[in-house]
A and B are shown apart, each in its own frame.
Chain A
Amino acid sequence: MFTAIFTRGGQELTNIPRVVVTGMGTLNPMALSVEEFKEGLAVGKSGVNTITRFDASKYQVKVDGEVKGFDPAQYMDLKTVDRNPRAVQFGIAAAKQAIESAKLDMAQEDPVRVGVASGCMVESSYVVQQSERVEQRGPRRADPLFVAKSSPSAVSMQVGMMLGAKGPNSSVNSLCATGADAIGTAFNFIRLGYADVMIAGGADSSLDPLGMAGIDILGALSRNPDPAKACRPFDLNRDGFIYSEGSGMIVLESYEHAVKRGAPILAELAGAGWSFDAHDATAPAPEAEAYAMRSAIDSAGITIKDIDYVNAHGTSTKLNDANETRALKIALGDQAYKIPVSSTKSMIGHMITAAGAIESIATILAMNEGIIYPTINYETPDPECDLDYVPNVARKARVDICLKESFGLGGENCCLVFKHPRLLS
C-alpha cells in the first residue's frame, strides 16, 4: 500500500544499478588537467597566488586561487567562447576532458539515456554591469546573452548542448557543497533508471571585486598576504579560506553500461548522503554534518570500520575545521582518530560550487594511485583539531574506501562514498 511499483522501459525496477566513475576532467589553480593535478597533489604543490584578476589594493584579502594559462579555444569554437563566461568555459573544458578520458562516444549512445547534473557560479559583476546599462540606456540595450551568461543552469545546459545529451539536465546549487551535491544527484538519476550515463560536477569563476567583498565581509576569507602560507586547514593559525576558481567534471555510468562498452573504471560511487543545518547561515552545525556522513555510509552499505580515508571539506576557516573535526567524531566515534583526513583545499583553495567535484577527483586519484595526498601548511596543532590530517607530506597507503565531505556556506551538507574498482569483482 505504501510502496509504488517503479517501472522503467515497461519493466519493474527491482535491482538498483551500481554506479561507477569512468572519466574525470579538471581545471583548477594548480593544474589544467587530471594528469597535472595528480603530480601536483603528490608533492603538495600550492596553486594559491597573489590576486591578479582585479586591483585588490583596497581589499584586506590579498591572495586567491586563479586558473593560470587557460585557453578556452583549445576546447571550444570561438562563438562558444564569446557566448560563455569564464565559469562556463571551465565547465565545458572539464567536461570535454572527462568525456575523452571515459572514451565516451555519443554516436554509440542513446542520447536520452545520457544526462548532465552540474552547478555553477558566474561573476556577479556582469549582472551589475547589465543592470546599470539597462537603467541608463533602456531595456533594448540588455545583452541578448544575459540569461545564457548569468543563469545557474549555464554549465549543465552548455555541456548538454555540446554532447547532444537529451536525458536529465539538472542544475544543482548548494553553494560550497554544489559539486558533491551534483554528483550525488547524478548518482540517483542512474540508480533510479533515468539515465545510463551522467556528466556531473561543478564550475566556478565568481572571483571578482563584488564576490570577493561579499564573502570577505562575512569574515570567511584569509587575510594572510603570503600565497604560499595563507591556506592552512586544521592548523592553529588558520584565518580563513582562499577564494578560488575552476571546474571538476566526472562521467558516471551504470556499472553494467560501463562493462558493456569496455569503459575504463576508475571508482565505484557507492553512496551519497545529504543534510541541512537549519541553524545559522555561516556557523556550521556538526550534528547535521555528521548526519550527512552517516547517511552516505549507510547508503553505501559499509560500516565506519571500512573507511580508509576521508577527503575533508577542510576550508581553513576557524569554524569549519573545528566543527568538521567534531562532526567526524560524532559520525565515526573513536574510529575518527584512526582514519587519515586531509584537505585538498590546502593546495588549491576553495572553488565554491566546483570544490566538491574537484576534491572528488582528488579522492579517486588517491585510491587509484595508493597515495593519500597531504594537508599542506600544517605547522601548529590546534587542540580543537586533533585528528590525523596527513600533515605536509603525501603517504603511501592502500585506499579502498573513501568518504568525501562537502559543506555549503548556508548549511547544505553532502557526503559521498567512493570505492576502489578492485572491490567491484
Chain B
Amino acid sequence: MSVEDQIKDIVAKIIHVDKDIITREGSFKEMKADSLDIVQALVAVEEAFDIEIPDEEAQKFQNFGDFVSYVEKQVEKKGEG
C-alpha cells in the first residue's frame, strides 16, 4: 500500500469518514475535522511511519496533498539514512 493510501486509512478512521472522500486537494476543514482530529491524525501518522512532523511544518499544510508529500519525503529520507 502506498504512503498516501496508508495515511488515508489512518485519517478516515480517526475522523470517521469514508476513505474515498479524501483527496489530495481536499482539506481537513472540508472533511469537517476539528482541532483534535487534526492532532490525532498527525500523531497517528508519526507513529505509523516512525517520523516526526514538527508543529511548524504541520501549520504549512494547505491541503491533504501537502501532508502526504511531507510524509513521503520524510519516509524517503529515512530509507536513505
A contacts, CB < 8 Å to B:
77-79, 82-83, 140-145, 148
Q: How far is the CA of A140 from the CA of B49 in the complex (A)?
A: 13
Q: How far is the CA of A77 from the CA of B37 in the complex (A)?
A: 15
Listed by A's residue number, 6 A-B pairs whose Cβ atoms lie within 8 Å are A140-B43, A140-B52, A143-B43, A144-B39, A144-B43, A145-B40
Contact at B40–A144, with CB atoms within 8 Å?
A: yes
List residues of chain A with CB within 8 A of the CB of B52. 140
Q: How far is the CA of A275 from the CA of B75 in the complex (A)?
A: 60
Contact at A83–B36, with CB atoms within 8 Å?
A: yes
Closest 9 A/B residue pairs (Cβ): A144-B39, A79-B16, A144-B40, A78-B16, A144-B43, A144-B36, A140-B46, A140-B52, A145-B36
Q: With an 8 A cutoff between CB atoms, is B15 at the interface?
A: yes
Q: How far is the CA of A144 from the CA of B36 in the complex (A)?
A: 7
- Closest B residue to A137 using CB positions: B47
A-B contact count (CB 8 A): 21
Q: How far is the CA of A211 from the CA of B10 in the complex (A)?
A: 33
Given A140-B52, A141-B47, A144-B43: A77 in contact with B36 (beta carbons within 8 A): no
List residues of chain A with CB within 8 A of the CB of B39. 144
New A-B pairs, 8, CB < 8 Å, besides A79-B37, A145-B40: A77-B16, A83-B36, A141-B47, A142-B43, A144-B36, A144-B39, A144-B40, A144-B43
Q: How far is the CA of A148 from the CA of B36 in the complex (A)?
A: 9
Q: How far is the CA of A143 from the CA of B42 in the complex (A)?
A: 11
List residues of chain B with CB within 8 A of the CB of A144. 36, 39-40, 43
Q: How far is the CA of A227 from the CA of B15 in the complex (A)?
A: 41
Q: How far is the CA of A82 from the CA of B41 in the complex (A)?
A: 14
- Closest A residue to B13 using CB positions: A82
List residues of chain B with CB within 8 A of the CB of A148. 36
- Closest B residue to A77 using CB positions: B16
List residues of chain A with CB within 8 A of the CB of B47. 141
- Closest A residue to B42 using CB positions: A144
